[in-house]
Structure formats: structure tokens, C-alpha cells
Amino acid sequence: MTTKRFTVALLAMFAIIINTSAQKIKQKNSTELSQILEKDKKIVILDVRTPQEFEAGHLKGAQNIDIYQDNFYTRIDKLDKNATYLVYCRTSNRSTTAVGYMQQNGFKNLFQMMDGFPGWAYNKLPYEK
């Protein structure tokens, strides 16, 4: 490999590392996110659980985009990549998949609720049915 190619490859690798670190997913628990939501009303809340789970209880104003649906990624791709999102599910497994996809596809401002909807309900935070 020539010095020029090596330098270009090295610069590309550094750019990827810098870009990835600039797009970190902020993993928070429900009480921390409740406080963040109180301060920032522009955060878009995404519930990636099934419609049945969503109907049983969800955060106020949440959009339900079921990760198990065939059109999940198409629906995510249509969202504003510059908006700030809070993504949650039941146990953080599905939300991990969702925020990982979002991060890889250019979404820059992501919060993930690590204790999921049960944590939100357990902490007696307000939700809708």
C-alpha cells in the first residue's frame, strides 16, 4: 500500500470514529428522561412495542412504530433525522435494535430508556392508556 493510500485510509477511519462518537446514544432511566421531557417539549417519543402493548399504556404523545412490522424501517427512514428522539420498549431489547438502526442511518439525537415502560410505570410517572 502506498503512503498516499495509507494516509487516505487512516483519515477515513478517523472521520468514522469521530462521526460515530458525535452520535452517541444517550442511555437513561425513566426518571432521568422524565426530567428531560419536562424541559424539552420538542423531543419525539417513539414506542417500538406492539400495538397491544401500546394500548395497555404508553408515554403521553408517543408514536407507536412496532419494530416487528415489515414496514418498521421504512417508517423510521421517513422521520426527521435532525429531531431528538426518545425510544423505548418493554425491556430495552427492541429499543436497542431501533436506536442502533437510527444511529447508523444518520439520526444524531437519540435517547434510549433503559428500564423500559415497566420502569416508567414502576416509578409512578404519568402515562396514557
Average pLDDT for residues 101-127, to the nearest whole number? 97
Choice between 3 and 79, residue whose per-residue pLDDT is larger: 79
Q: Which has more confidence, 15 or 125?
A: 125
- pLDDT given at position 2: 54
Numbers of helices and strands, H then E, in the chain: 6, 5
Catalytic residue selected from 45, 89, 98, 99: 89
Do residues 129 and 55 lie in contact, with contact meaning Cβ atoms separated by under 8 Å?
yes
Give the integer Cα–Cα distance in Å for 125 and 59: 9
Look at residue 13 in the predicted model and tell me its pLDDT: 45
Is the whole-model pTM more than 0.85?
Answer: no
- CA dist 100 → 1, 55, 94, 97 (Å): 33, 25, 10, 5
Three-state SS at 115: coil
Catalytic residue list contains 89: yes
Beta-carbon neighbour count of residue 48 at 10 Å? 27
pLDDT value at residue 23 = 59
Task: Express each pLDDT in 33-74 by its tens digit.
Answer: 999 999 999 999 999 999 999 999 999 999 999 999 999 999
CATH topology of domain 23-122: Oxidized Rhodanese; domain 1 (3.40.250)
The half-sphere exposure of 19 on its side-chain side, counting CA atoms within 13 A, is 11
pLDDT confidence of 17, banded at 50, 70, 90?
A: very low
What are the CA-CA distances from residue 79 to residues 32, 48, 102, 113, 124 (Å)?
24, 14, 10, 19, 30
In tens, the pLDDT along 75-108 reads 999 999 999 999 999 999 999 999 999 999 999 9
Q: Tell me, what amino acid is at 101?
A: Y
